[in-house]
């Protein structure tokens, strides 16, 4: 009996066969050209939210960074390195910060503190709660309050991104660079734009 890990290789071989049948030069083209993605996608690590699948983009079209709850933390060298490479080397034109309904990270941040390393990460979402406390407190339905926090978190992370000095500098060589905040509804499979041309606000 094959394990789920074994099935990865079986599915890979099947995908290669089907791809080459449709397009014999597919892999040769990918290997011979440098990547020139139009998009940088910053999304959640949730396994139900694969960036290329939900956006319908193909190989080479989208540079991707994912972490728990799609956070853009100014002290996180991982996301900062991805963003700098995307804007300075790849010269992407659109940066998408995409949250999703059903996000476990956002839901966990609404509960009392837990122990463990991830709790420190979730404090960045709790900062969004404090920033929008009045609006969230005015929502009586707990599930709707959660859904709104998912949206607000995406907007605030996009704003964190737009505030970065490397983004401001990148606009000099890529003046049409745009930052977008999106949310993906896992229940229906649709993306929705929350804000575009997100601009930084003073900290």
Cα angle 196, 129, 189 (rounded to 5 degrees) comes to: 50
Rounded distance, CA 97 to CA 126, Å? 18
Verify whether residue 98 is a known catalytic residue.
no
Q: What is the largest CA-CA distance in the chain?
A: 58
**Alpha-helical runs (H) found in the chain:** 4-22, 26-32, 51-55, 77-84, 104-109, 117-131, 133-137, 142-163, 165-173
List 65, 100, 124, 180, catalytic entry: 100
Q: Is 46 considered catalytic here?
A: yes
Candidate list 11, 13, 17, 48, residue with the active-site label: 48
Given 66, 98, 103, 163, the catalytic residue: 103
Active site residues: 44, 46, 48, 100, 103
């Amino acid at each position: 009996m094959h394990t789920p890990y074994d099935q990865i290789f079986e599915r890979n071989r099947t995908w290669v066969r089907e791809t080459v049948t449709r397009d014999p030069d597919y892999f040769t083209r990918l290997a011979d050209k440098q990547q020139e993605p139009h998009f940088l996608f910053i999304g959640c690590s949730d396994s139900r939210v694969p960036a290329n699948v939900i956006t319908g983009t193909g190989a080479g079209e989208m540079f991707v960074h994912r972490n728990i709850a799609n956070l853009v933390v100014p002290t996180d060298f991982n996301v900062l390195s991805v963003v700098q490479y995307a804007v300075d080397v790849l010269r992407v034109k659109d940066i998408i910060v995409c949250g999703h309904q059903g996000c476990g990270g956002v839901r966990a941040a609404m509960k009392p503190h837990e122990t463990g390393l991830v709790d420190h990460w979730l404090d960045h979402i709790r900062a969004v709660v404090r920033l929008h406390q009045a609006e969230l407190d005015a929502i009586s339905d707990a599930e709707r309050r959660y859904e709104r926090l998912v949206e607000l978190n995406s907007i605030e992370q996009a704003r964190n991104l737009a505030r970065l000095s490397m983004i401001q500098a990148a606009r000099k060589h890529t003046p049409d660079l745009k930052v977008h905040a999106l949310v993906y509804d896992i229940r229906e499979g649709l993306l929705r734009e929350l804000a575009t041309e997100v601009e930084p606000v003073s900290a």
